Amino acid sequence: MKHSARLFPNRRQFLATAAAWALAPRVLLARSNPVAAKSAAEIANDPRRPQFHLLPAKNWMNDPNGPIFFNGKYHMFFQYNPHAAVWGDMSWYHSVSPDMLHWTHLPLALEPTAGGPDAFGCFSGSAIAVGKRVYFVYTGVVESTPDKATIRDGSDKLQESQCLAFSDDPNLIHWTKVAKPIVPLPPEGMAITGFRDPSAWRQDDAYYMTVGSGVARVGGCVLLYRSKDLNTWEYLHPLTSGIWNGKRTANPCEDGEMWECPEFFALDGMHVLIYSTLGKVFWQSGKLDVATMKFTPLKTGLLDLDAFYAPKTQLDAKGRRILWGWIPERRNDAAMLEAGWSGIMSLPRVMHVDPDGTLRLQMLPETVKLRAGTVPSEETRTGAVATLRKATGEVTCAGGGDKSFEVSFNANETEVMRVSYSPEKHSFLADGKEVALEPDDRPTLHAFVDGSVIELILGERIGYTKRFYYEGSTAPDVRVHATGMGEVTMNAWKIEPISNNRLT
């Protein structure tokens, strides 16, 4: 789950810089909201609020939970604070869509139950359909004592267990919780650094479930469980594990001692694992030995260069593997409370694996339905400029491969992002971060600008999601300047809002 995207009580001052935020602890205690609630009109009129990304009508959101295509509709659940625009009181928000692009909000699916195993919070998890019933496996959290704590952060007072809920409602609005945890304790004898974010799937005649964890001073790992009925689970072994970086921090997710939000699935003849640690999201592709249920990674990489964390995946109606991620804010608690909202769901990305195990990403092709006309580009001495009015629009750029080019995004005369392509290295440089392409890859860029976020994919290999902010009550125009065009082509489109008041 991503429960924690904020700071613990002994470190409540929000880390002001983006670099510091990337390493901010993800599990902290709930706290009261000292700012008066914003009205719906004030939130709707915030120019920084995206128009075509999914987010709740107000308050804090983080990790996607249990995305699933069921009964002809797409259901998205995510971590949500019903009471404030900062982390706390973790519940499961629920939205439904016909196409993964246009959303309708529904009542909360899960909320903490007093006296239950999730009394402190319903943390992250996943969904699995069994006939006409859908199950949630999720992490329940209670306040406990240091000897039972599974979150080792210095305060050592939170205990995690894996819980189960189910719905027989064709609209997935009504849910029933199983009273006791299905996995109440972590494996014996392990000095674990965390125990959360279950993800379940059916394989042959059994169910399997991964849980994010780690071993102190050893490294993060993914625990593997097996069940015949989703209620009684047998611990098998670590599916795979990593190596601690040796730099001790208060939060084990900052130094690689803990892996959050693992997701494991078959794709294009291989198996893929994604997990979050060190403030980043990693992928591994490789082979699963179904006899031993041991995973051997062959290739690894990053899913995104910046503001993208705790992702989940699902299969869509066409059988495609769809990736969703939480886009966090890069501003402090006071600014989020003042705004009345925090966090965004990424646009859906389609995942594939090449025969050599290299991951490939594309924006969902159906996003073309959001287009509301082309944006004309004006030729300059060095290239071309497209102006995205009020920080909203889509841009694609593609090169022939043998000439360099550069694309910059500018708002209010301030450069927000710069991406350049080097044919000599066959790589992109994105704000100083190098992205190497495969030999046969075309140098392409596909970007969406929405209020206060730029979300793009480079060379169909990696995402780059970046937040930007500005003062005032009007969103600035974003000028996209492509230089060194040569054989490079740039196209831009206006984007249609998915609601008439940004509160969908």
Distance (Å, rounded) from C-alpha 110 to C-alpha 91? 6
282: its two tokens: 């990693």
3-state secondary structure of 338: helix
Active site residue: 63, 153, 255, 441, which one? 63
By C-alpha distance, which of 84, 88, 89, 106 is closest to 97? 106
Q: Render 30-87 in DSSP notation, one character per residue.
A: -----SPPPPHHHHHT-TTS-SSS---SSEEEEEEEEEEEETTEEEEEEEEESS-SSS
Annotation marks residue 197 as catalytic = no
Rg of the Cα atoms in the chain: 22
| Residue 435 Cα distances to 12, 363, 408, 497, angstroms | 35, 18, 16, 31
* CA angle centred on 325, ends 460 and 434, rounded to 5°: 40
User: What contacts 466, CB < 8 A, 6 or more positions away?
Assistant: 306, 307, 416, 417, 431, 453, 454
228 burial level (CB within 10 Å; 0-12, 13-18, 19+): exposed
3-state secondary structure of 23: coil
Residues taking part in catalysis: 63
